């Protein structure tokens, strides 16, 4: 009967291994379902983040356009300031020249007799 006992032991061992394998397969299946659920949730979150980022990109594009307009206006104002600065320098030079000429004319005028 050793062969029968041995066969029974092997059969019980195989049944136990089969049960363990089935349990592991079920556990693996549950883990896969949980991972897929988590993956769907993360995908949904990432899609939401992508939509928000697209909105932010659109707003940034609008801001970039406004900044370019401001840069253009600042460039025009800078050119105008340079032109006015040049005019002011020219006027200042003319005023100094006129002041010197008036000073020279005043020096050449004879002194009035009342001052003596």
Residue 17 lies in a domain: yes
Query: What is the b/e burial string over 40-58, where b = at least 16 CB atoms within 10 angstroms of the residue's CB?
Result: eeeeeeeeeeeeeeeeeee
Q: What is the mean pLDDT of the chain?
A: 93
Q: Averaged over 43-47, what is the pLDDT?
A: 97
What is residue 109's predicted lDDT score, i.e. its pLDDT?
A: 86
User: Does residue 60 form part of some domain?
Assistant: yes
Distance, C-alpha 107 to centroid of its chain = 69
Confidence class for position 42, pLDDT limits 50, 70, 90: very high
* Residue 112 within a domain: no
Residue 47 belongs to some domain of the structure: yes
**pLDDT: is 115 or 71 the higher one?**
71
66 within domain boundaries: yes
Residue at 67 is within a domain = yes
Domain that holds residue 79: 2-103
Residue at 18 is within a domain: yes
Strand, coil or helix: 31 = helix
116 within domain boundaries: no
pTM of the model as a whole: 0.48
Mean pLDDT, rounded, for 89-100 = 95
Number of domains in the chain: 1
């Amino acid at each position: 009967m050793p062969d029968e006992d041995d066969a029974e032991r092997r059969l019980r061992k195989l049944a136990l291994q089969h049960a363990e394998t089935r349990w592991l397969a079920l556990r693996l299946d549950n883990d896969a379902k949980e991972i897929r659920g988590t993956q769907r949730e993360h995908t949904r979150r990432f899609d939401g983040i992508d939509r928000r980022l697209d909105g932010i990109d659109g707003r940034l594009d609008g801001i970039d356009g406004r900044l370019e307009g401001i840069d253009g206006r600042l460039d025009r104002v800078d050119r105008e300031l340079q032109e006015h600065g040049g005019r002011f320098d020219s006027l200042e030079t003319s005023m100094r020249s006129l002041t010197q000429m008036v000073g020279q004319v005043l020096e050449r005028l004879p002194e009035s007799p009342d001052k003596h």
